[in-house]
Structure 1
C-alpha cells in the first residue's frame, strides 16, 4: 500500500520533521501553484524552461561540507565541478555551458530545505542532494509542483517510485542484504547467530534496518537493534550492549564518525567481530585516526560502484583528473559518487536535447531511456523504471591505507541470494 506524505514524515525523526515543517511553509510561498516557469522555444526548436537560457544550463547542489558527511560532501561537490569543467571544455551540452550553484547545509534540516527553496526556481534540477531524510521531506513538493530532476546522494527505498527523484545504485535495504550476504558467504556468521545493527534514526537507518531484518529472516539470524542520532559520536554504549547480547557481527548504517567510533571502541575492548557498513559509513580520513588499524582489520563497506582506487580505466582516469584539478585534496568514494551523478545527469541532458525538450519534464523523460548506462565504474544501471533501484548489485570493499582512496575490493559486484527476492518498500 502506498504511504501518504504524513506517514512518511512520521518516520523521519526529529530532524526531518523540522525539515518537513519548514518545507510546508516554504512551499506555501513559492508562488508556482503546481506549475513550472512558462516554457519557451529556443534556438534550433529546443523547448526550454526553468534554469535554461540560450547560453547556459543551471544545476543546483545541496551538500554537506560542515556536518556529519563533511568529508564526503566536499569530494562529491568537487567531483561534480570537475565534470562540469570537462563538459564545458568539450563544448557544453546543447550549445550551452553548464553552471553548478552549491549550497552547504551542514546536515541541518532547516538549512537544507531553505537552500532547496532558494535554488529551486533558478535551476533546471539538482545533481546533488545529500541527506536521505531531507530529500524524503521534500519529496511531495519535488514530485507535485517542482518536477526538476533530483539525483540525491541518498539511497533510501522511500525515494523509489518518483519520476523526479532518481537514485543511482542499490537502495540501503538491498545494500544491507548484500553486505550481510557477504558475511554469510565468508562463513563469518551462520544460521542461529545474532547480529547487531547500529543505525541512524530516520529514513536512512530504518530503510537499512528493513534490509537487515529481511536478510536475517532468510538466513535464520536474529537482529539486535541499536538506534542512534546523527549527533551521537561515541559508540561505547552501543558496543557494550551488543557485546553483552553476544552478537557475532555488526552492521552500521550511520556516518563515518560513528563507524570509526564503533570499530575503535570494540578493538580497544578486545571485542573482535566483523563490522559491515553502508556506502556512506566510511571515509578514508578515518585511517589517520586511532581507529585506522582496527578498520583495516575487519571492517567492510558495500557500494554500487568500484572504489576510486580501482585499477580499471574509469576509476583510474577519474583519480588522475581529480588529483590534477585538486592537488592535495585526497581521494575517497565521494569523488566517484559525485562524478557518477553528474555524468548521469549529463547523459539525460544530452538525450533531452536530442528530443528538443530541455524542460524539466523533458529531462525526466530522457532519463527513462537509459536502460544499460555504464560510465566505467563497474556496474551498468537501468533507469527505465522509477519504482526499481537502478541496480541490485553491490561491491564489497575493505579499508586499506596502501590503496588510493583507502578502499580495496574484496568481492566483485554481485547480488546476494536474499536480495534477489526482496522488494524495497517504495515511497
Structure 2
C-alpha cells in the first residue's frame, strides 16, 4: 500500500467516523444518548434539567381550572427542586395557553413537543382527541385533564382515576341507595355532545338498565347556558332525578331553573360540572340542597394527611388564590408524573419511551391524595373507586365528602362487556 493510498483510506475512515457520530447524535432524541451520570436522555432532558409541558386553558371557559392546575403543578416543581430535583436534575414546566381552542392547541403542541419529555397537563377532551396521533407518535407520556373512556388503550396517554362512565355507574347507584330511585322510575341525563357526555351517558344507561330504571336523555352544546327547555322536557317526562355531564355554567342553570320551576329532584354531576365559584351565585341555595358530585378525587376539605399538607403549602405559596378541585387534580397528576420519572431514572433512562415503560410498570401507585392507581393495563381505567361529594358554602373548596371512595356494583361486569 503506497503513501497516497494510505492517506485516502485515512481520510475515508475519518469521514465515516464523523458521519457515524453525527448519526448517533441525531438519534439521541430517541433515547440513544447517555450522559456522564450514566442516565440515557432524550428530548426535554439535559444534564441538569427535566422539561415538562402543559397545554392549558388560561383564557377560555376553563380558565379558573387551568390557573389552579398550573399553580399546583408549579408548587410541586418548586418543592421537588428545593429537594435537589429528580435524577439530580431540576424540573421545569413550560406552559402554553390554548384558550380551549383546538387549533391553537395543535400549534402550541408543535412548539412544545421537540423540547419536553412529558405532559402532566392537557385540558380538554377535544384538545386531547386532536393530539392523540401526535402524542402516540412522539411517545410523550400525557396526563389529560379529561376522563373519557375513548382515551383509554393508548400507551402514551393516561386517564387518571375513573372515567366518566364509571362515575355514572356510581351516580345511578347513589340515587338508588339514598334518594329512593327505584325500578320503573325515570331519571334525566343532560349531557354535552361529544366524548364527555356520550361516555357518561353510556355508563348511566347501562347502570339504569340493570336497575330497571329508564334514562331520559337531553343532549346540549357547550354554548347552551339556559337549560329552561331541558328542564321543561324532563318535568314533562316525570323524572325523579337528573344527572348532568356538562360544565359548571350548565349545572347552575339546570339546578336553578329546576328549583324555580318546581322540579326539586336530586341532581348529580361529575367533577367537571361543578366549581366553587357557583356558590357565590343566585343558584347557591338550590345547589346546596339538590346537588351531589361524583369524583375520582376527594374534596379538598378532606382530612387525608396528604391533602391537608398540599392545601397548606398551596395557600402559603398562593395566598390570594382559592383552593378548588383543580388544585388537587393538578398536584396529584404532577406527583404521579414525578414517581414515573424517579422510576425511569432508577432504571437508567429518561428517554421518552422509557418514561412510558416506567409508568406502565406501576400497578399500585398511591400519592396519598386519593385512591391507589393501576397503570399496568392501558385499556382499563387507572381507578375504579368514586367519591360522592356535596356543595358546602362554608367548606374549603366548596365541597365536603358524603361517601368515601368505593366501587359501584357491577363495575367489573360493565368493563367486561365494554371491552
2:117 maps to 124
Residue of 110, 118, 124 corresponding to 2:103? 110
Cα shift at 1:312: 1.8
Q: Give me the whole-angstrom Cα distance separating, in 2, the residues matched to 1:240 and 1:70.
A: 31
Structure 1 residue ranges (4+ consecutive) displaced by more than 4 angstroms after TM superposition: 34-38, 424-427
Cα shift at 1:38: 6.2
Q: Is the 8 A contact 2:140 2:156 kept in 1?
A: yes
Report the number of matched residues: 393
Q: Is the 8 A contact 2:179 2:266 kept in 1?
A: no
Question: Secondary structure, in 3 states, of the residue corresponding to 2:106?
Answer: helix
What's the RMSD between the two structures over aligned residues? Answer: 1.7
2:10 maps to none
1:60 maps to 53
Q: Give me the whole-angstrom Cα distance separating, in 1, the residues matched to 2:230 and 2:369.
A: 35
Q: Is the 8 A contact 1:157 1:424 kept in 2?
A: no
Unaligned runs of 5+ in 1: 1-33
Q: Give me the whole-angstrom Cα distance separating, in 2, the residues matched to 1:276 and 1:296.
A: 12
Change (3 A) 1:316 1:60: same
1:134 maps to 127
Change (3 A) 1:93 1:424: farther
Q: Deviations over 1:237-284 (max 9, x none)?
A: 111111111111111111111111111111122220111011111110
Change (3 A) 1:186 1:413: same
Q: Is the 8 A contact 1:156 1:207 kept in 2?
A: yes
Question: Secondary structure, in 3 states, of the residue corresponding to 1:280?
Answer: helix
Q: Deviations over 1:359-382 (max 9, x none)?
A: 111100101222111111231111
1:372 maps to 364
Q: Deviations over 1:34-60 (max 9, x none)?
A: 995563111221110011111111111
1:247 aligned to 2:239?
yes
Q: Give me the whole-angstrom Cα distance separating, in 1, the residues matched to 2:214 and 2:65.
A: 32
Change (3 A) 1:178 1:274: same
Question: Secondary structure, in 3 states, of the residue corresponding to 2:293?
Answer: strand
For the pair shown, the structure with the greater C-alpha radius of gyration is 2
1:348 aligned to 2:315?
no
2:411 maps to 419
Question: Secondary structure, in 3 states, of the residue corresponding to 1:79?
Answer: helix
Q: Is the 8 A contact 2:31 2:352 kept in 1?
A: no
Q: Give me the whole-angstrom Cα distance separating, in 2, the residues matched to 1:178 and 1:255.
A: 19
Cα shift at 1:66: 2.2
Question: Secondary structure, in 3 states, of the residue corresponding to 2:169?
Answer: helix
Q: Give me the whole-angstrom Cα distance separating, in 1, the residues matched to 2:36 and 2:256.
A: 59
1:283 aligned to 2:275?
yes
Question: Secondary structure, in 3 states, of the residue corresponding to 1:376?
Answer: coil
Aligned ranges 1:232-381 → 2 under 5 Å: 232-381=224-373
